Amino acid sequence: MTKTHTYANDTLVFLHGFCESTKVWEEFTKPLQQKFNIIALDLPGFGENTQSMHDYSMESMAEYVKQQLDAKGIKKCILIGHSMGGYVSMAFAEKYEQMLKGLCLFHSSALPDTDEKKENRNKTIEFVEKHGVAKFMHSFVEPLFFADNRKKLRSEIDLMIEIGKNTPEQSITGGLAAMRDRPDRTNVLQKVKCPVLFIFGKDDGAVPLDKALEQCHLPNNSMVNFLAKTGHMGMFERTYETRLAIQKFAETIYG
């Protein structure tokens, strides 16, 4: 999904999370298209980008992002990564910081998996291999949303389940292993020169509040949004607030 804006330099690049696709950004980015050049990419193995792959690492995905931006003639951008997309953004920032006007970790983290979370990734890989993608998606998606939001966001939950069910099993198991094995990139947050926006849900089980607090002070220039009654899916759970945070962040950078 690409919306060309008159000011091609004012580019926001959106990277989706695990078992997601550009569809999670379609409605979210529409108001932003009036002010910015919006690019949303299907990361390798996900969405419509499901050609056979051997490397699902965050570094490999970051190289894909670089190739796509080069092909579109984008020299600098604000990179916005949700969850796994944030891990890819950190790998991109480590190697291509000169291309970043800003960086947003949207329910994401520069920290590596804990030993407990690595073990959970392994168990999830075993579950998917044993029971299949569809059964996994029905158990995976709903807990990403804050409990009180699930009933009113049933259509959004169903959308995410459907996106996930169309994801190849190899992409799911490969992505899980890649997230499990990603390194600690908090040093990148400390070194990065561009402004960094953090968006956290106070009820996000995937990025707990204590882990959020460990890293939001690391950049030289950071803005932080903590959202109450919000899980891991702020683009659906708190659409107005998260969109406004990104818009104001981009306006601060681009003017």
Give the residue-averaged pLDDT of 19-39. Answer: 97
Across the range 141-160, mean pLDDT stands at 98
The predicted pLDDT at position 139 comes to: 96
Q: What is the CATH number of domain 2-112+183-254?
A: 3.40.50.1820
pLDDT at 255: 86
Do 44 and 100 meet the contact criterion of CB atoms below 8 Å apart? no
Q: Would the pLDDT of 2 be above 80?
A: no
Residue 53's pLDDT is what?
81
What pairs with residue 223 in β-bridges?
197
Q: What is the pLDDT of residue 9?
A: 63
Residue 26 has pLDDT above 70, yes or no: yes
The contacts of residue 32 (CB under 8 Å, 6+ apart) are: 12, 38, 243, 246, 247, 250
Q: How far is CA 74 from CA 3, 7, 38, in A?
A: 13, 11, 11
pLDDT confidence bin for 110, thresholds 50/70/90: very high
Q: Is the pTM of this model over 0.85?
A: yes
* C-alpha dihedral (82, 200, 87, 153), degrees to nearest 10: -30
Identify the pLDDT of residue 135. Answer: 97
What is the overall mean pLDDT for the chain? 95
* 1-15, 87-101, 141-155: segment of lowest average pLDDT: 1-15
pLDDT in tens, 52-79: 788 999 999 999 999 999 999 999 999 9
The predicted structure's pLDDT at residue 7: 43
Q: Is the pLDDT of residue 251 over 80?
A: yes
What's the start-to-end Cα distance of the chain, in Å?
24
Give pLDDT, residue 6: 40
